[in-house]
Amino acid sequence: MSVSDEVWAAAPSPCVDVCRYKRAGRCVGCMMTKAEKDAFPRAGNADAKRRFFETLFARLESEHKNPAFWAISYRRKCEREGVPCPLDDGTETA
């Protein structure tokens, strides 16, 4: 099952509120840079956000981090914010 464009367009930032920067200026919680965190609200349409999340998953894997741990935190964030989670289509294991 695929997540609708509306869910992706409304997706909250991938930031999981850890905000500690180390390697290459990337946050240890979400692997985004400060510039990426600032730019995400203006990331564009559903396709742009979907691609951003795909890039983020690849980055987590390349840094030998298990994307599933980040996905758990992101799902909790979506739940706290009362919005549908775009990860619920299974893409987090892709």
Give the pLDDT confidence of 46-72 residue by residue, as tens digits: 999 999 999 999 999 998 888 899 999
pLDDT band at 90 (very low <50, low <70, confident <90, very high): very low
What are the boundaries of each domain within the chain?
Answer: 5-14+42-93
Q: How many CB atoms lie within 10 A of CB 30?
A: 22
Give the pLDDT confidence of 20-50 residue by residue, as tens digits: 998 689 998 889 999 999 988 887 889 999 9
| Closest to 25 measured CA to CA, from 11, 38, 13 | 38
The residue that leads in pLDDT, 83 or 90, is 83
Residue 93 has pLDDT above 60, yes or no: no
Q: What's the pLDDT at 89? A: 62
The partner residues of 16 in beta bridges, in order of sequence, read none
